[in-house]
A and B are shown apart, each in its own frame.
Chain A
Amino acid sequence: MAAPKRSDDLRAEATAARLAAVTVPTGGFTGAARAAARARLEAMGLPGRRDEYWRYTDPTALNAAEAPEAAVFTAEESPIFGAVDRITLVFSDGVFDAAASDDPSLAGVEIARLAEAGRADIHWAKDLYGVLEARGQEPVARPHAALNTAAAADGILIRVTGKAAKPVHLVYRHASVQSDAILHHCLRIEPGAELTLLESGPAAARFNKVLEVDVAAGGRFHHIRAQGRDHERRAITHIFARVGEGALFKSFTMTANGRMTRNECVIEIAGNDAVAHVAGAALGDGASGAFHHDDTVFVTHAAERCESRQVFKKVLKNGATGVFQGKILVKPGAQKTDGYQISQSLLLDEDSQFLAKPELEIYADDVKCSHGSTTGAIDETALFYLRSRGVPREDATSLLILSFLADAIAEIEDDRLAEEIVSRLEAWLARRKV
């Protein structure tokens, strides 16, 4: 009788099977980074339920060699951000669609495709590709990000040297029920430059995306993302950001639907007087398919007088699950740090659940850090107040849900973009008639 396999062996087998199912491009400036990432992944293995940061989220579907199928969802509404003047770059099931994309010329912004530029041996993105991802593997392993660096077929490389006149919008279409997309973007904001990056769409049946962002001194980066509404899609995404002196990093994500989403955000505040905000609004209704949404955030303060905010809100009903794992690490010497973290869920019934793990780790003595986490139902007094003014129950509930999400939406600086997000949230609520 064969001895039972040890879990390490099973993990190694699963990792090997996953790697065998992807094509790892070789050569060019990313070659060395891909090989190193592959070695990292093989050393750490794909995640398992016993891993500290995977207790609340089952990685099975993400680990599987083949992507589980996901039906393509056809929405009748107009595409989000459609009214905003922007440069659109379209990927369909992870494959760049040149015909559907705009000409990527924008003053002060260099845009290239990883699949094309990656063949060159010398490129500015060489200092970034897989670099922030590798730094972000400590102290918490992020195996799917290493997999991404090793295997990403394409992505967009953006270098910003001035104040971009309009946003760049990455549109991710989902057309095939079996698609398995891996995209890796690198973005460098040079000193004093500014860019708004928009992302939207489901991308694929299974989507693995990494965004590495380096915001140099005095640079400003705004990120607004609307994840696709496909009920069956799965996604694991990582943002790795390094924020330089006096720089600003702001990221907001709206997630409505999706069987499984895990959004990791790893931010290193490296320069003094920098600001980093990351926010999310997630809405899930288990009645239209399973909903599991996980926000895992790690903010490291490694400089003085910096501010960080994590604002995550989740609205859950009919057996939906929300997860928040958020950490603030204040390194020795990062004095005058102002760190803030709030994670809240609004449970619309007793079948849904919210799991939160807030963490603070502080090695400096002159800092201000606070965190809070709440789970609650709709405020009956507020609901009665609205109804007593003639607002029907369903509309009043929607208003209170938007009210609950307001702090997260407030992290979007551009009013037009905030309105786009609010109108989508309103439409989602109107369809549900919660």
Chain B
Amino acid sequence: MLEIRNLQVKLQDEDKQILKGVDLTVEPGKVHAIMGPNGSGKSTLSYVLSGRDGYEVTGGSAHLDGADLLEMEPEDRAAAGLFLAFQYPVEIPGVGNMTFLRTALNAQRKARGEPEVSAGDFLKLVREKAKTLKIDAEMLKRPVNVGFSGGEKKRNEILQMAILEPTMCILDETDSGLDVDAMRLVADGVNALRSEGRGFLVITHYQRLLDHIRPDVVHIMADGRIIKTGGPDLALEVEKNGYADILAEAL
């Protein structure tokens, strides 16, 4: 599904190499976690995959279901099934959450040559998805993320994911700024979306989130590379001993 080969990325405006050859394959139905210390390149990987400006790919490749992601505009990557849940969801005053969701859904459907969803059907869809994430009607009416608490913003990200139904979901530190209850709510939302045809890449600092979203594979990233890959136990090892041992081992 997602195939990343020897991906090398530097900052566009600075001579600073961030990713130094990342190899990663996410199979359909699997949840991969990426852990690693600050500055290891985890968030950069998520941004480069989703097409944010400011980065320059200096080598390697990234494909989603065979399509070259790096050649596509961000909106085309979304239509192709990629979704990034932001670490810091953006506030957009004056644009209602419902308008935003419907615009996004219909834009993707249009790009895929599918018919637009009617206002009535859309309302039904949103209500159903919002309920499970405990997002009330008031939150849906408000402008996108404006005045939302940290937890509400993250739940709103998962709501978008549930409505857009991507095939490849990247969660960038979705647990940051969440209390235990909010994290469980978000994790439940993600778990509800796990399915045979859908892959997940969960980026996190802490093992905590992985108690709720059980990964199939855990990768440790450091200094722009994946230095170790293992099963769920690897996350527990990090939680117990920190990154120091793994980093030393990799050298």
Task: Mark A residues whose CB is within 8 Å of B.
Answer: 379-382, 384-393, 395-396, 399-400, 402-407, 409-410
Contacts and interface: CB of A to CB of B under 8 A. Distances in A.
A405 B75 CA distance: 24
B104 interface: yes
B180 interface: no
Contact of B94 (A380, A387, A388, A407): A407
A390 B92 contact: no
B165 to A, nearest CB: 11
A16 B104 CA distance: 60
Contact of B92 (A380, A395, A403): A403
B171 interface: no
A299 B51 CA distance: 48
Nearest to B52: A384
A385 B90 contact: yes
B92 A382 contact: yes
Interface stretch (B78-86, B187-195, B201-209): B78-86
Contacts of A400: 92, 95
Given A384-B52, A389-B78, A391-B104, A399 B95 contact: yes
B104 A389 contact: yes
Contact of A381 (B75, B90, B111): B90
A390 B94 contact: no
Contacts of B51: 384, 387-388
24 contacts: A379-B90, A384-B52, A386-B92, A387-B75, A387-B78, A388-B51, A388-B77, A388-B78, A389-B107, A390-B107, A390-B164, A391-B103, A392-B73, A392-B75, A393-B75, A395-B107, A399-B95, A399-B100, A399-B103, A400-B92, A402-B95, A404-B94, A405-B94, A410-B94
Contact of A390 (B79, B86, B89, B90): B79
B92 A393 contact: no
Contacts of B83: 388
Contacts of B50: 388
B93 interface: yes
Contacts of A387: 51, 73-75, 78
A82 to B, nearest CB: 22
Contact of A403 (B74, B84, B95, B103): B95
A295 B27 CA distance: 59
B93 A406 contact: yes
Interface of B: 50-53, 73-75, 77-79, 83-84, 86, 89-90, 92-95, 100, 103-105, 107-108, 111, 143, 160, 164
B84 to A, nearest CB: 6
B140 to A, nearest CB: 16
A385 B93 contact: no
A392 B77 CA distance: 11
A321 B123 CA distance: 42
Contacts of A391: 75, 103-104, 107
A402 B94 contact: yes
B93 to A, nearest CB: 6
Nearest to A380: B53
Given A380-B53, A388-B78, A393 B73 contact: yes
Nearest to A391: B107
Contacts, number: 83
Contacts of B111: 390, 392
Contacts of A405: 94
Nearest to A408: B94
A392 to B, nearest CB: 5
Contacts of A384: 51-53, 74
A392 B107 contact: yes
A390 B53 contact: no
A249 to B, nearest CB: 24
A406 B90 contact: no
B93 A403 contact: yes
Contacts of A388: 50-52, 74-75, 77-78, 83-84, 86
Contacts of B78: 387-390
**In the complex, which of the residues B78, B86, B92, B94 has the most CB atoms of chain A within 10 Å of its own CB atom?**
B94
A407 B94 CA distance: 7
A123 to B, nearest CB: 44
Contacts of B164: 389-390
Contacts of B160: 389
A71 B92 CA distance: 39
Nearest to A392: B75
Contact of A385 (B77, B89, B103): B89
Contacts of A382: 90, 92
A85 B79 CA distance: 42
A385 B103 CA distance: 13
Interface centre among A391, A395, A404 (most CB of B within 10 A): A391
Given A384-B52, A403-B92, A403-B95, A390 B73 contact: no
A202 B164 CA distance: 44
A390 B160 CA distance: 11
A390 B95 contact: no
8 closest residue pairs by CB, A with B: A406-B94, A390-B78, A390-B108, A403-B94, A389-B104, A387-B74, A385-B90, A387-B75
A391 B51 CA distance: 13
A55 B52 CA distance: 42
A405 to B, nearest CB: 7
Given A387-B73, A392-B111, A400-B95, 13 more contacts: A379-B90, A382-B90, A385-B90, A387-B75, A387-B78, A388-B50, A388-B52, A389-B78, A389-B107, A389-B160, A390-B75, A390-B104, A399-B103
A381 B7 CA distance: 24
Given A390-B78, A390-B111, A393-B73, A399 B92 contact: yes
A223 B43 CA distance: 49
B95 A385 contact: no
A128 to B, nearest CB: 37
Given A390-B75, A390-B79, A395 B89 contact: no
Contacts of B89: 385
A409 to B, nearest CB: 8
Nearest to A385: B90
